[in-house]
Structure 1
Amino acid sequence: MPGVRTAIGLMSGTSMDGIDVALLRTDGAGVVERGPFLGVGYDASFRNRLKLALEQAKTIRKRSERPGDLADIERELTLRHVAAVRKFLDTNGIAAGAVDVLGFHGQTILHRPDEALTVQIGDGALLANETGIATVFDMRANDMVHGGQGAPLVPAYHAALAANIDGAKLPVCFVNIGGISNLTYVGADGTVIAYDSGPGNTLIDQWVETHAGIPFDQGGMIASEGRIADDLAERYLASPFFTAAKRRSLDRNDFLPPSGSDVELADGARTLAYVAAASIIKSAGHLPVTPALYVICGGGRLNRVIMRDLTQLAARQDAAVISAEDAGFNGDAMEAEAWAYLAVRSLEGLPLTYPGTTGVREPVSGGVLAEVRRGDHSRD
């Protein structure tokens, strides 16, 4: 197919649990052919290194700064992505030469949209030369240059996927429950609106790691044993974030886990699961029309307590809630697929963001292309 490229998307999200790798054949517009997916987890020691990166990043005032250990962590992160790409190619019997481009998200260590400052560590040139595949990276920065929030970027891909959903179920709202949740509204008339909707898995992960020494509440098992602490839930949901006239993108530190609380482990997990679900519905109140359907992707869809709460809250609006899989998609792969899609759009000079998604002044493209240096590596 003319204009169709083979791209691999790489996502390391705010949950900091690993690297998602997904292949897509696309023209960056209406052609979307989804391929294989691979998840590569981080070990506990590297997750701790990323936590250190978050702390050291707090002093950054310019995007190029790498105080403390950040330069070393950035290199290690990139080489882990190199290993993930190689494993993906080997597992699926794909030659590097058959891939046109990598879409490299990197790891967000600082996001201050009010200061037009966002930092994703990850060395695109190193990734390109080690894999032998041209790489598009740093896709958020140009949006901020033009007055946007730098997030979310996935909506362009959600809009393409919406074409495969029964028109009777529009308007549809794609919801990614990652460390931070975000939503994309696609109206019956094609209108696309997107923004961060509130805390997702991060608060729950931090809570159970602090109180139980485990990285996350698998399937909502801990939450299922608890009860909602109403006062705590109300404090989160009373945040000005939910009522502000202007939607803004979030940093993982904008909502912090409970401190100095006498809430038990299970009750805390149960409460934070409810907050994750209620945040989505509360934020959806800013949409022009109540969605008929919520399609849930990201790790949060595997937490049955979040999904049950979300289903019950949405039912009050006569809206249905389904997982990405029930819609015919892969909820684990969607963000990585989106980065592959965005990389192709970047190569084509097509917009990555729009006024209705990030608040940018006008639709803009973005990303930095790192070509493979001739003679450094030969592609298979």
Structure 2
Amino acid sequence: MAQQAYMTETDNGGSGPERRGSRLRSLLNRFLGGWRGDPRIWRRGIVLAALAVVLALVMLLHSHIPNAVGNLGSLTETFLPWLGLLVPVLVALALVRKSATALIAVLLPAIVWLNLFGGLLTDKTGSGGDLTVATHNVNADNPDPSGTARDVAASGADVLALEELKASAVPVYEKALAPAYKYHSVQGTVGLWSKYPMSDVRAVGIKLGWTRAMRATVATPAGPVAVYVAHLPSVRVKMNAGFTARQRDRSADALGEAIAADQLTRKILLGDLNGTMNDRSLNAVTSQMRSTQGAAGSGFGFSWPASFPMARIDQIMVKGIEPESSWTLPRTGSDHLPVAARVKVTTSATGS
């Protein structure tokens, strides 16, 4: 009787597998039932299909978008990952329009986006490394420089870079960081704090007329490392010129030349570059160094603006050094998030 009752219950749409299957079929019929036998599913949504193809081409050929008009190419590359949000929108519109053509076309931008950024969706962080580094644009108008200094020092970074240091706030940062860092140097508006001795400390000219970049040799337990700190000029959006970044681009070229000419084989760049790894205008730097976030991070690691991060313009890059992990730190009183990385300074590398 029990077996018969069970069979009767499930046969009549009870809680057994048959009922779950019928619910799925009902849901599919609700979305696709009107498509069967309708030849217009291939003729509808041509405009949506064209938009999907254009989106795929923009992502695939972003490096060919010219900068001549409003620096449009760099602007597109700065926010390139966000174009992926248009894919589910196009899928939804294709379903509403009941267009098979549009649905198939949407596969193109989806595949291109996954090819460009799918690797960032996986967790590549490791557990090794022998040096922790961090960088933070502290914001000249930071209302709590002392608290910000304590927050970033709590990350445990062995080497810490700060950018946008206002002269009147430098003593505050120096006092707050002194217990954790024995060595430090401030050059212009950038500074470097280290638990290990520093030598050959100097400003780096990036064609600005004032100092916003520096370099030091840090004597890590695994050997000397050239550490660069940089704060490239900000980009601007002007009514008559669009997205302008000419000064930023010149400074990036000068920074890239300085790093390439450095005789040490192990190099770390810390700073606010006011551009993402996708931005072609930073090629002088990005072509010779690896992003720790791209190589060993989890997710996109967006750092700006701190209230709703949309782009990673604060970078940690390495050369001759192996990234192990990379992450963003909790928000401080700045409009940027601090970023940190754990790297392995290989003992086999040598430099003069």
- Normalising by structure 1, we get a TM-score of 0.27
Indicate the structure whose relative CO is greater, using CA pairs within 8 Å and at least 6 residues apart. 1
Structure showing greater radius of gyration is 2
- Normalising by structure 2, we get a TM-score of 0.29
